[in-house]
Amino acid sequence: MTTTCTVCELHAESTFKIEGMDCREEVAMLERRFKNLTGLEDFSADLMGRRLHVKYDAAKLSASAIAGAVADTGMRAWLEHEEPVASSEPQTGRRQALVWTSGIALVAGIVTQAVSAGGSAEAVLGWCLPDVPAVGMGTIACFVVSLAAGIPLTAGKAWRALKAGSLDINVLMLIAATGAVMLGQWSEAAAVVFLFALAQMLEARTLDRARSAIRALMDLTPAHALVRDAAGERRVDVDEIVPGAVIVVRPGEKIPLDGDVVAGQSEVNQAPVTGESLPVDKAPGDGVFAGTINGRGALDVRVTRLRRDTTLARIIHMVERAQAERAPSQTLVERFARVYTPAVIVLAVAIALVPPLALHLSWHDWIYRALVLLVVSCPCALVISTPVSIVAALAGAARKGVLIKGGRHIERTSKVRCIAFDKTGTLTRGAPEVVDVVAFNGAGLASIVGLAAAVEHRSKHPVAHAILQHAAQAHIASLPATGVVAIPGRGAEGTVDGAQVLVGNHRLFEERSLCSPAIHDRLAGLDAAGRTAVLVARDRTVIGLMAISDRPREAGRDALELLRRQGLTPVVMLTGDSGGSARTIAAELGIDEIRAELLPQDKVTAIEDLKRQYGMVAMVGDGVNDAPALASADVGIVMGAAGSDAALETADVALMADELLKIPYTIRLSRATVRNIKVNLAISLALKAGFVVAAVAGIATLWMAVLADTGASVMVIANALRLLRAD
């Protein structure tokens, strides 16, 4: 979509969808065409997503002029939020018909050549041997038909590339085919054109499979919803529904928009968004996400977000944005490719000229070898090897409820050697309960709970939620608090009914000099039992404390053991809770190292210390009060991000659900992706190097070079697609 700067109306940003951008060569053509475009400030091309993001001066340049400049390169552009006009490229069916016509004519030419030569084995193989020319007008006619059917698309792209001053793969293939015809190698020319057209068709189809992984997420939400209002129930286009409307979701239907349940009870399968393996019970007051699947009960849902703002829409947008981010290895490969292609072209020219001129060798043989070199000079497979792996990994992770913010974070995650966890809400269920209330100085239990609930009323911390839940269950009302101030890592304070109320941990009360020996004794007992104490004071007098207990997550021990097997040691707990509470949880889960009673800034110091000791460190938190530590870590992983916009925006890796087992999966996927990239690069470089040597030695033929070049692209894409199914 197009957005305009709020400071200066002349500056604009637009995102275009691009048709026909399938290789780094097309990106290079855009760079050349845009180089001297007046008013253009910056642009970046997303090859895998077929997108172009442009910043420009709206007084000097328009979106239509940008689309026109793209059209000059033979591609087609339209603003992302607009509907595209009819395609200018040949339809898929027509393209396939031309490719198969070219192939049939090529086979007919080979057969005709064999028959005219008496059916000898040499004649049957003659089409692939440069020293056995095709004979007879019928044979030549078949090869001409093959060329005529297979070359139109290549010739059109080659012409547009030449106009843009680029020697892309289409130009090189056209030169190779023309050269083969001039050398009398009709079968070679036809084979080159057919195999190149076939490989391009296969490459486009396999590449579309990678792109369709994200498009599949878009199809998770229905196009219409059943709206209930004063006029009754009616089907409405989802795009027309605004927040506040009530929609009816029948059993088995997909939920079309984010919202809150206002009536009904049901189990909802949230796997499409969060990756959770089991359905989640939903009742009035619970939130639901677009794209999730309702169970056996009907639900009335009050819509809270427009379709474009739903959690699923945000996930899709972030994954698409992550696709456009270049990984470090991708940048390195592209720099290499910019040197490789011109170097091989120069070598090809030297091969064609130097041996015949300097050594008086055969012009025919050495020009042929140069043509083979030209075919292998395009680095498409090399350039695409990294982004296609990244895209497949991002899409596969998103399907399982893991949002990774880009290739850079995948590579960093693969190198993590130590992992640190927050305790509350991360290693524990995040639903602590008040298990005991102790009074001091003659205060009543209801008064202690009521004052604490008043101060904690607006807090989102799990401990505050436990206090509020306990007050509600005990039917204890609280007066409104004023002037409430949160004290990070310690607690909160405010005024309730004219009294100054302080609620917080032991550290806060020590700093305020409010503790006594009796309080210390009580706190020591709670600490030994693994419970967290929340102290309450009124007008600088401690009136009581509440004992809070939380249980570890069921899969916690299994997840941590998997991380150790993956070589992540030590597994560290960083918590603001007391040492006793931390040790109790650590013993149940098998934590290697504990650092307790930490303030947010202390967690940052701990992360820096772990980085010095072990190298790359990941920090896992729930996003409530761990932001500084998450930012300080090499990789910040936030759990339960589906309901938190802030977590989605700030984390390097966001787990949509509170499932610890997704963390070992993320580590496995990142390492598998890096291995996949290395294998793809090895395939590309080995084939290129091998055929450069074979071409110079005169071993390789043109059709072999075509198979090696375009076949490598298909191979690396197919290899990368395996990441979509990685577990």
Residues labelled as active-site residues = 422
Angle at 26 (CA atoms; ends 80, 185), nearest 5 degrees: 140
State the amino acid at position 595 in one-letter form. Answer: R
Helix (H, G, I), strand (E, B) or coil at 708: helix
Taking Cα atoms as reference points, which of 184, 117, 515, 503 lies closest to residue 364?
Answer: 184
Q: Which two tokens stand for residue 349?
A: 């020219």
H-assigned helices in 117-185: 121-124, 137-150, 152-163, 169-182
Helix (H, G, I), strand (E, B) or coil at 438: strand
Taking Cα atoms as reference points, which of 73, 72, 78, 71 lies closest to residue 50?
Answer: 78
Report the Cα–Cα distance between both ends of the chain, in Å, rounded.
35
- Judged by phi (left if over 0) then psi (alpha if -120 to 50, else beta), residue 530 lies in left
Say if residue 570 is preceded by a cis peptide, omega within 30 of 0. yes
Sign of the Cα pseudo-torsion (575, 577, 579, 583, in order): negative
User: Exposed/middle/buried for 474, CB within 10 Å: 0-12, 13-18, 19+?
Assistant: middle
Helix (H, G, I), strand (E, B) or coil at 483: strand
Neighbours of 252 (CB within 10 A): 10
3-state SS record for 284-334: CCCEECCCCEECCCCEEEEECCCHHHCHHHHHHHHHHHHHHCCCHHHHHHH
State the amino acid at position 640 in one-letter form. Answer: G
Sign of the Cα pseudo-torsion (152, 337, 318, 572, in order): positive
Q: Which two tokens stand for residue 637?
A: 């992983």
Taking Cα atoms as reference points, which of 461, 467, 465, 468 lies closest to residue 423?
Answer: 461
Distances (CA, A) of 275 to 23, 49, 461, 552, 587: 33, 24, 25, 21, 29
- Judged by phi (left if over 0) then psi (alpha if -120 to 50, else beta), residue 491 lies in left
d(CA 72, CA 160): 7
According to DSSP, the residues that pair with 534 across neighbouring strands are 546
User: Exposed/middle/buried for 473, CB within 10 Å: 0-12, 13-18, 19+?
Assistant: exposed
The length of the chain is: 727
Taking Cα atoms as reference points, which of 451, 369, 403, 473 lies closest to residue 697?
Answer: 369
Q: How far from chain centre, in Å, is Cα 421? A: 23
d(CA 604, CA 610): 10
State the amino acid at position 576 in one-letter form. Answer: G
Taking Cα atoms as reference points, which of 412, 387, 473, 294 lies closest to residue 723?
Answer: 387
Helix (H, G, I), strand (E, B) or coil at 44: strand
H-assigned helices in 13-91: 24-34, 63-71
Q: Which residue has 């509170």 as its token pair?
A: 658
d(CA 436, CA 433): 9
Q: Which two tokens stand for residue 530?
A: 């693994």
- DSSP H or E run through 202: helix 186-218
